[in-house]
Amino acid sequence: MWNSPKVGILGGGQLGRMLVESANRLNIQANILDADNSPAKQISSHDGHVTGSFKEPDAVRKLAESCDVITAEIEHVDTYALEEVASKVRVEPSWQAIRTIQNKFNQKEHLRKYGIPMAEHRELVNNTPEELAQIGEELGYPMMLKSKTMAYDGRGNFRVNSKEDIPEALEALKDRPLYSEKWAYFKMELAVMVIKTKDDVLSYPTVETVQEDSICKLVYAPARNVPDSINQQAQALARKAVSAFEGKGAFGVEMFLLEDNSLMLCELASRIHNSGHWTIEGCALSQFDSHIRAILDLPIPPKSLELLQPSIMLNIIGGATPDSHLKATEAALSIPNASIHLYSKGAAKPGRKMGHVTVTAATMHEAETMIQPLIDVVDTMRA
């Protein structure tokens, strides 16, 4: 047996909560560093949690004292604190990987050395209109202006359609470190969850993701109408990108499928990821199960990452009113084969991820038919 290891998790949001669900089933104690009553702490009763933030060095030090291995549900953590505690406790994935990945520009500069295809991009040094206009000349319009750091759910992106948009774009992202990306004319967005273990790099099947207002709305597993050759290429690209980083655990890799069927990396995350929630019902081992096993060097039979049944995951996102998400949940109760996951985050805000629903079926067509009424409900509740 594995001697009841204690896993420290930086962050106790919904991803941490689902990690705790997996850890609980193996009698593994997960010590959460986050505010009291955060979603992950609510389902884990013991005295090993730490109150504070994953951005506070003292709190990270305190967590390190009580754990065998430390991991993170979010990449925006204090990697200098992680670097410091790495001499005393295992940190997975490595603090170096998290530090490089949390800055999307550095992440891309790093991946470029490994020949990973991605949209052409330019760094802004002064954040001036003149500088961005010059970059616009080089990359063409539209282009996507992006914050290098603290980006999530598209908060940090601004689409610049023409030179006239430049002042508004710089105002929207002011005081943030920026880079700009050439527009990717994709026909579909794909994603692959990669699991890095002590001696292997494994991947789940390629899924299709649908973003609305830059927030993930739907995930189709497997990606619809995508030939197996592209499924295999996407998995290979994702594994290659993740291999460029040190450390164990789950990594989420987002990609664009272009008109000519070539693939381009959008970005990757050094953690369990929204595009992998479907694995809870869709595979024998979920991304959360695999992450826990990977960081503890427990076996992961590759067959357990194969798709058992076509699955569709729909995010329940805060809408126009504080209870929109509850109305969506109520509707989900009557959908056949729907597994409902609520995150217990308290009050909903527009755009906040409050939960998700996964529907599985014998065929993708059947799953689409079953989930459609719920998509209709969600669409009427948008902010």
Question: x/- string (CB under 6 A) for ligand ATP, residues 179-218?
Answer: --x-xx----x---------------------x--x----
CB of 48 to ligand ATP, least distance (A): 29
Nearest 10 degrees: Cα torsion 351, 355, 359, 364: 30
Q: Which residue is nearest to ligand ATP (CB)?
A: 184
Report yes or no: 216 and 155 within 8 Å, Cβ to Cβ: no
Tokens 């689902």, residue?
18
Q: Which one of residues 66, 157, 231, 304 is an interface residue with ligand ATP (CB under 6 A)?
A: 157
Nearest 10 degrees: Cα torsion 4, 10, 14, 17: 20
Instruction: Identify which of residues 317 and 367 has a Cβ nearer to Mg ion in the complex.
Output: 317
Question: x/- string (CB under 6 A) for ligand ATP, residues 108-147?
Answer: -----------x------------------------x---
Indicate the residue type of 91: V
Stretch 221-260 residues interacting with ligand ATP (CB under 6 A): 254
Strand order in the sheet with 69-72: 50-51, 29-34, 6-10, 69-72, 90-91
Instruction: Identify which of residues 267 and 323 has a Cβ nearer to Mg ion in the complex.
Output: 267
Number of residues that bind ligand ATP (CB under 6 A): 17
Tell me the CA distances in angstroms from 294 to 71, 151, 247, 301, 310, one per residue in order: 11, 26, 10, 11, 25
Tokens of 102: 């949390």
* Residue 211: contacted member of Mg ion, ligand ATP, none (CB under 5 to 8 Å, by partner type): ligand ATP
Pick the stretch among 3-11, 177-185, 290-298, 351-359 that binds ligand ATP (CB under 6 A).
177-185
Closest-CA residue to 222 (of 22, 360, 73): 360
Tokens of 326: 């509850």
Q: Which one of residues 154, 177, 350, 351 is an interface residue with ligand ATP (CB under 6 A)?
A: 154
* Residue 144: contacted member of ligand ATP, Mg ion, none (CB under 5 to 8 Å, by partner type): ligand ATP
Q: What angle do CA 145, 148, 152 make, to 5 degrees?
A: 85
Residues that bind Mg ion (CB under 5 A): 254, 267
Residues that bind ligand ATP (CB under 6 A): 119, 144, 151-154, 156-157, 181, 183-184, 189, 211, 214, 254, 266-267
